[in-house]
Amino acid sequence: MIGDPVLAFDQVCVRFGDTEVLRSVTAEVADARVTVLAGPSGSGKTTLLRLCNRLEVPSQGTVRFRGEDLDDLDPLALRRRVGMVFQRPTLFPGTIAENFAVAAPEGAAEYEGRLASVGLPTDWLDRPADDLSGGEAQRACLARTLLTRPEVLLMDEPTSSLDPAATRTLEDLGVELARSGLAVVWVSHDLAQVRRIADDCLVLRDGRVADAEDAREYLADRDPPGGGGRGGAP
């Protein structure tokens, strides 16, 4: 961990009825880095991500944002500081500009710059959101989230339905945002992607954070050919 954590989980458990999804999770997320949550399907990755801005709440244990218990923070204010991009694009009916106005009604002067920052043409503000392809819509969702000027960006398998070119564009954006000072927490089941983008990697197995040996074993056993890497992942 470099510096104080931006997010910290202390003995966190999450139960849905009789099913325990997360079990005694203790972990930290660093500022200005890409932290990837990896692991098999059903291991608790998305639940852990959703805890970060109170889309889920722990059944037991504590989640802290910059040292403050999330229970003590207003959820709506928290979600502007800890923004989220979902697996499927979630644009509203209307134009891109109207979507942006939901996030930042006073920030119209920034709209074109945000489009440019995610690799979309700056003259698309009047374009209907329904006209966008999957990759374009996902980038527009990212731009909308960034208009709230979050301190943390949560990414829930944002490239799972994108083609390779759109995937690389979104990966590059995530890495660039981390380099600019944003904490990025990215859920991925794609081990080649983990190698490309991760500064840090938390591997979840059966609702627990794997220890270093188990994490290395998981990544080594399932790493597909061609994974590059920027270092940092186990």
Domains of the chain from N-terminus onward: 7-222 (3.40.50.300)
Tokens of 222: 């399932």
Q: What is the pLDDT of residue 2?
A: 56
Which one-letter amino acid corresponds to residue 167?
Answer: T
What is residue 101's predicted lDDT score, i.e. its pLDDT? 97
Paired tokens of 199: 């500064």
- How far is the C-alpha of 35 from the C-alpha of 222, rounded, in Å? 19
Predicted local confidence at residue 233, as pLDDT: 46
What is the per-residue pLDDT for 163?
Answer: 86
Residue 201 sits at φ, ψ, to 5 deg, of -140, 125
In a 10 Å sphere around its CB, with 0-12 CB exposed, 13-18 middle and 19+ buried, how is residue 17 labelled? exposed
C-beta separation of 21 from 14 below 8 A: yes
| Full DSSP string of 11-63 | EEEEEETTEEEEEEEEEEE-TTSEEEEE-STTSSHHHHHHHTTTSS--SEEEE
Residues 83, 41: Cα–Cα separation, whole Å: 23
- In degrees rounded to 5, what are phi and psi of residue 133? -70, 175
Which pLDDT score is estimated for 220?
Answer: 84
pTM over cut 0.75: yes
Residues of the chain predicted below pLDDT 50: 222-234
d(CA 119, CA 140): 9
Q: Would you state the pLDDT for residue 57? A: 96
Query: What pLDDT was estimated at residue 221?
Result: 65
> What pLDDT score was predicted for residue 161?
80
